[in-house]
């Protein structure tokens, strides 16, 4: 069916004119970048979940939902008539099939052991240049830097390191090292990252909850989404309530952030964390 649709599309001629290219993407970091640039893609993946996890920038109505990031609906993508598909290293295996629909431009965004902020800047500028809106990239980068600088000014009194985590279930969590956007945001806020190891890029949460006992003097920033059953377990768990950070009131429950997002996610995490830290310091829990 897809092959027939491709053949039909190949027989037509798309009027290009001076219109800005119609973009599509499978990657959420690229999706939020396109939204923040003011150039929403015509198609992207898992939009319902994106709205719940990334939260911002808002997704406008009318965008085609391609389904799963790793298994997108290519017929829906074809019908969206993209002029270009922006992709990332996470979905490189799909590029031969994507290239049958539209030219593909790919970016290496998250690589184990490599800090992602500079690659995100390069991706933001490259996409904006391809779309003919280079000024939008510089404006987004400037807004992000200004936001991070403003939050940093509010955190000068915070001396404790921060352990940013995301619960997978009631017994395990993910951590974020220097090679994550959350780790990059911590550094730009002038905060010490309590996690010195690399980031886990696995879909599973590999760190046991008992590990939190090794960080008695930190702020633990628990980034949503939180599994509802896990939170219920914590409420009645003697072990959880015995953890030093929990007893001291230094567990900060943050709103949802895409942990593998781009500049908008860095800004959102920094803002949510700053508000939580300021409240904790004001309550004498610093």
pLDDT in tens, 79-109: 999 999 999 999 999 999 999 999 999 999 9
Residue 15 phi/psi, 5-degree rounding, is -75, 120
Q: Residue 98 in contact with residue 45, Cβ under 8 Å?
A: no
Q: What is the mean pLDDT of the chain?
A: 92
Q: 20-143 maps to which CATH number?
A: 3.40.50.1980
Residue 80, both tokens: 């969206």
Q: 155-282 maps to which CATH number?
A: 3.40.50.1980
**Could you tell me the pTM of the whole model?**
0.91
Listed by start position, the domains of the chain span: 20-143, 155-282
Which stretches of 137-206 are assigned E, i.e. beta strand? Answer: 162-169, 172-175
Element (H, E) at 222: strand 219-224
Query: What's the N-to-C CA distance of the chain in angstroms?
Result: 61
Q: Residue 33 in contact with residue 127, Cβ under 8 Å?
A: yes
Q: Residue 25 in contact with residue 87, Cβ under 8 Å?
A: yes
Q: How many CB atoms lie within 10 A of CB 279?
A: 11
Q: Residue 110: CB partners within 8 Å, gap ≥ 6?
A: 29, 88, 89, 90, 116, 179, 180, 201, 260
Q: CA-CA distances (angstroms) from residue 43 to 18, 51, 242? A: 21, 14, 47
**Nearest-angstrom CA–CA distance, 169 and 116:** 27
Percent of the chain with pLDDT over 70: 92
| pLDDT category of residue 202 using cuts at 50, 70 and 90 | low
The tens digit of pLDDT for each residue in 109-129 reads 999 889 999 999 999 999 999
Instruction: Say if strands 104-107 and 84-88 run parallel, antiparallel, or are unpaired.
Output: parallel
The tens digit of pLDDT for each residue in 230-267 reads 989 999 999 999 999 999 999 999 999 999 999 999 99
Q: Would the pLDDT of 5 be above 90?
A: no
Q: Would the pLDDT of 68 be above 60?
A: yes
- Are 20-143 and 155-282 equal in CATH topology? yes
Residue 113, both tokens: 């052991």
If phi > 0 it is left, if psi is from -120 to 50 it is alpha, else beta; for residue 207 that is beta
| pLDDT category of residue 19 using cuts at 50, 70 and 90 | confident
Q: What is the mean pLDDT of the segment spanning 193-217? A: 86
């Amino acid at each position: 069916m897809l092959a027939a649709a491709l053949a039909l599309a190949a027989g037509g001629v798309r009027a290009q004119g001076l219109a800005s290219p119609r973009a599509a993407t499978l990657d959420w970091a690229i999706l939020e970048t396109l939204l923040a640039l003011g150039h929403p893609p015509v198609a992207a993946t898992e939009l319902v979940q994106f709205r719940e996890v990334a939260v911002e920038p808002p997704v406008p109505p009318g965008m085609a939902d391609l389904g799963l990031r790793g298994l997108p609906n290519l017929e829906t993508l074809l019908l969206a008539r993209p002029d270009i598909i922006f992709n990332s290293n996470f979905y490189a295996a799909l590029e031969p099939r994507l290239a049958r629909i539209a030219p593909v431009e790919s970016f290496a965004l998250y690589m184990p052991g490599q800090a992602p902020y500079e690659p995100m800047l390069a991706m933001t500028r490259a996409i904006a240049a391809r779309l003919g809106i280079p000024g939008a990239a510089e404006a987004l980068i400037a807004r992000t830097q200004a936001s991070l600088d403003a939050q940093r000014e509010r955190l000068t009194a915070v001396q404790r390191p921060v352990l940013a985590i995301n619960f997978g279930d009631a017994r395990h969590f993910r951590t974020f090292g220097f090679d994550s956007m959350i780790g990059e945001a911590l550094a730009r806020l002038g905060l010490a990252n309590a996690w010195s190891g690399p980031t886990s890029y696995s879909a599973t949460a590999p760190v046991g909850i008992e590990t939190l006992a090794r960080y008695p003097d930190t702020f633990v920033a628990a980034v949503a989404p939180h599994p509802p059953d896990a939170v219920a377990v914590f409420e009645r768990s003697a072990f959880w309530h015995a953890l030093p950070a929990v007893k001291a009131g230094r567990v900060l429950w943050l709103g949802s952030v895409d942990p593998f997002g781009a500049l908008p996610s860095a800004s959102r995490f920094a803002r949510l964390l700053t508000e939580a830290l300021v409240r904790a310091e004001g309550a004498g829990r610093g």
